[in-house]
Chain A
């Protein structure tokens, strides 16, 4: 079955750059979406279609894609960025939505 693989955790100090990867286990690669989620809250979309940023999302959030891996980059991490981050895509038939297992970003 098609899966999205993320590292369970990433830790960075304030002001540093955090990179969270998401690897798809097959082709064709579909667009990726990224959400962050804080405890007790609904997810918030921070990147869509690999690298587009919704209105209202700070410029420090960016996305990129290479092969079957997509990366969420947070430049100049702030304490408020501490959250769980999920990548999301669809399977290789383009029918079923999938989420990665999530990455806990800790701001030291």
Chain B
């Protein structure tokens, strides 16, 4: 069974950096792209970017370029996202998703991680 388990909720101050992990199991880590999706409270889904665990290639949505980083650790089958210079608008649930296609997050998602940015 494919599973993606994300790290727990975070509370951060404006200007800080948050790092979220996404531990996968049930498939070969390098076979699927890992996508990251943001969902602000009461809002829709917004794609942030992806990493190809096979070669570390990344693609970032224009909105998040510069302060968003995704990595993949093949020794632990874990993907990470890091968002820096946090502001209140970054308060959201962040999902990781494993997709066999680069152009879709696919049908395996983590449970989501709530990040609250507050002074």
Q: Which residues of B contact A86 (CB under 8 A)?
A: 44-45
Structural contact, B110 and A88, CB atoms closer than 8 A: no
Number of A-B contacts (CB under 8 A): 60
- In the bound assembly, the distance between CA atoms of A30 and B101 in angstroms comes to 13
Structural contact, A102 and B45, CB atoms closer than 8 A: yes
Structural contact, B47 and A99, CB atoms closer than 8 A: yes
Q: Does A48 contact B (CB under 8 A)?
A: yes
Tell me which of A48, A89, A96, A101 contacts B59 (CB under 8 A): A96
A28 CB, nearest partner CB in chain B, Å: 13
Structural contact, B95 and A42, CB atoms closer than 8 A: yes
- In the bound assembly, the distance between CA atoms of A9 and B45 in angstroms comes to 16
Q: Does A66 contact B (CB under 8 A)?
A: no
Tell me whether A97 and B103 are in contact in the complex, defined as CB-CB below 8 angstroms, given that A43-B95, A86-B44, A102-B44 are known contacts.
Answer: yes
Structural contact, B59 and A99, CB atoms closer than 8 A: no
Q: Given A31-B103, A44-B107, A97-B35, 15 other A-B contacts at CB below 8 A?
A: A31-B104, A37-B45, A42-B97, A43-B37, A54-B107, A86-B44, A86-B45, A88-B45, A95-B59, A96-B61, A97-B104, A99-B37, A99-B45, A101-B44, A102-B44
A-B contact pairs, 28 of them (CB 8 A): A30-B103, A33-B104, A42-B95, A42-B97, A43-B37, A43-B45, A43-B97, A43-B105, A44-B107, A44-B109, A45-B104, A45-B105, A45-B106, A48-B106, A48-B107, A84-B44, A86-B44, A86-B45, A88-B45, A88-B47, A89-B103, A95-B59, A96-B62, A97-B47, A97-B104, A99-B45, A99-B46, A102-B45
